Amino acid sequence: MSEGLTLGSGAFAPDPVTHIEEAGAASVSEHHTPADAKALTMRVASITLVAETIRAIELVSADGSPLPPFSAGAHINLKLPGDLSRSYSLTNGPETTDRYIVAVNRDAASRGGSAYIAEQLKVGDVLPVDPPHNTFPLVDDAETSAFFAGGIGITPMLAMIRRLESLGKPWKLFYAARNRSSAAFVAELEALDAAAPGRVHFHFDDVEGKVMPLLKLAVGIPKAAHVYCCGPSRMIETFKASAGWRPEDNVHVEHFAGTNAKPTSDFTVALKRQGKEFFVKAGESIMDVLEANGVPVAHSCREGVCGTCETVVLEGECDHKDNVLSTREKDSNKLIMICCSGAKSGRLVLDL
């Protein structure tokens, strides 16, 4: 999700406008959160340093009302001052229903989100938060599961591991970081490993003198396993290369960064419920055009990685540019990320 990622397997993502993935076969109903879902008003209950530059932020309902449930792998969008919206994966398991906990890495090249959280956000602050949205769902009835995390990519996987622990399901984690002090939740992961040794494999680049040998490690994971990766782009590419022999539905990826792509041809976008039509030129995004015409749309990353702008397609053929939808979902032509994707057909009708 964002801010130019150029790191090794263990490096931390810049300001992680969180994680997105190419999950297997999620349907529209599983994936789609209405873009006009009402924001929650949440209070910061605690801020805890969990690595040298990573803070865990615990959020509770500001008025005590129940929080919407979520599934492991979900993220929330924090609405920050300056019209900033940043998405972060929930690290707590879905059994914890009275709070949301995210972990935020302070990125040296922050565009504002992580810098604000590291330097200005304080306990007691109240802020709007979009309800949980899951573009990286855990398959919790899998025979076994394996997770490959790089840096801050551990966050959605921690929620998944907690879920599997609650179900008594087997799992393995391979977690890469530059060094021990930059890795988050180490003590908790070590405690999980102590309870059933062999489940957690740490890889610290400074100790090993190289990036995590993902290709080699992945060979030992059974074909029936569901495998997940969240980390820097190079790690994800290696992971994909390691998983070519696995069933497509068993392979799940969440990206930090978008593709910076925009529609490459002109088309007309029609908003069926609003009865409006607009012309989108090559190089513009649907989102740009809608906003220029006074149509508000939900957004966060604006680069096809957070899933916030996910919109149902009613007619027309999409030209997908995002890093959110799986190949199967893209082929189904039912959803589009309007911040980056365009149309192969001359007209696209959206459920807006």
Burial-class residue 160 by CB neighbours within 10 Å (0-12, 13-18, 19+).
Answer: buried
Task: State the minimum distance, in angstroms, from the CB of residue 135 to ligand FES.
Answer: 9
- CB 300, min distance to ligand FES, A: 5
Q: C-beta of 37: minimal distance to ligand FES in Å?
A: 14
Instruction: Estimate to the nearest angstrom the gap between the alpha carbon of 91 and the chain centroid.
Output: 12
**269/280 Cα distance (integer angstroms):** 7
Residues 243-302 that bind ligand FES (CB under 6 A): 299-302
- In this structure, the dihedral spanned by the alpha carbons of residues 258, 264, 267 and 268, taken in order and rounded to 10 degrees, is 20
**305 binds ligand FES per the rule CB under 6 A:** yes
Contact between 309 and ligand FES by CB under 6 A: the answer reads yes
Number of residues assigned to the chain? 352
Q: How far is the CB of 133 from ligand FES (least distance, A)?
A: 10
140/288 with CB nearer ligand FES: 288
Q: Among residues 134 and 300, whose Cβ is nearest to ligand FES?
A: 300
Confirm or reject binding of residue 324 to ligand FES (CB under 6 A). yes
Query: Is residue 138 within the footprint of ligand FES (CB under 6 A)?
Result: no
Of residues 26 and 337, the one with the C-beta less far from ligand FES = 337
Cβ nearer to ligand FES, comparing 144 with 332: 332
In the complex with ligand FES, the residue whose CB is nearer, 92 or 285, is 285
Exactly one of 160, 184, 290, 337 binds ligand FES (CB under 6 A); which one?
337
The helix (H) or strand (E) run that includes residue 246 is none
CB count, 10 Å around CB of 265?
14
Does residue 307 bind ligand FES (CB under 6 A)?
A: yes
Tell me how far apart the alpha carbons of residues 351 and 271 are, in angstroms, rounded to a whole number.
6
Site of interaction with ligand FES (CB under 6 A): 299-302, 304-309, 322, 324, 337, 339
